[in-house]
Homo-oligomer: A and B are copies of this chain.
Amino acid sequence: MSNQAKPSRRGVKGHPKSGPSIGDVARLAGVSAQTVSRVSTGADPVRPETKERVLDAMRELGYTPNHAARALRRGNFRSIGLIAHQVIRTGESKTIEAVIEAARREGYSVSLVDVETPSSSDVSDAVQQLNHQAIDGLIIIRAETATPTALALPPTLPVAVSDSRFIGHHPAIGADQAGGSRAAVQHLLDLGHKTVHHLAGPDDSGPADLRATAWRQTLEEAGRKVPAILRGSWSADSGYELGKLLAKRKDVTAVFAANDEMACGLIHALHQAGRAVPQDVSVVGFDDIDLAEHFWPPLTTVRQQFQQIGNELVELILRQLRQRAPLTDFHGTVAAPLIVRESTAAPRKRR
The interface of chain A, by Cβ under 8 A from chain B, is: 15-19, 62, 64-69, 71-77, 79, 86-88, 93-94, 96-97, 100-101, 104, 107, 109-114, 116, 129-134, 154-156, 235-237, 239-240, 261, 264-265, 267-268, 271, 290-291, 293-296, 298, 324
Contacts of A76 in B (CB 8 A): 16
Distance, CA A294 to CA B132, complexed state (A): 41
Distance, CA A65 to CA B236, complexed state (A): 42
Cβ A75 vs Cβ B18 within 8 A: yes
A–B complex contacts, Cβ < 8 Å, 24 sampled: A16-B75, A18-B75, A62-B154, A66-B72, A67-B134, A68-B68, A68-B72, A69-B72, A87-B97, A87-B100, A100-B112, A100-B113, A101-B114, A101-B116, A107-B129, A111-B112, A112-B112, A236-B294, A261-B291, A264-B294, A267-B294, A268-B298, A271-B296, A295-B295
Nearest chain B CB to A23 CB, angstrom units: 15
Contacts of A93 in B (CB 8 A): 87-88, 93
Nearest chain B CB to A134 CB, angstrom units: 4
Query: In the complex where A66-B133, A109-B113, A133-B68 touch, is A15 in contact with B100 (Cβ < 8 A)?
Result: no
| Count of chain copies | 2
Distance, CA A267 to CA B295, complexed state (A): 9
Distance, CA A8 to CA B71, complexed state (A): 23
Cβ A129 vs Cβ B113 within 8 A: no
Distance, CA A65 to CA B132, complexed state (A): 8
A88 partner, pick from B94, B113, B239, beta carbons under 8 A: B94
Cβ B67 vs Cβ A240 within 8 A: no
Contacts of A112 in B (CB 8 A): 100, 109-112
- The 7 closest A-B CB pairs, nearest first, are A16-B75, A68-B71, A67-B133, A64-B132, A67-B134, A68-B72, A268-B294
Cβ B97 vs Cβ A114 within 8 A: yes
Contacts of A293 in B (CB 8 A): 236-237, 268
Please, which residue of chain B has its CB at the minimum distance from the CB of A155? B62
Distance, CA A101 to CA B109, complexed state (A): 19
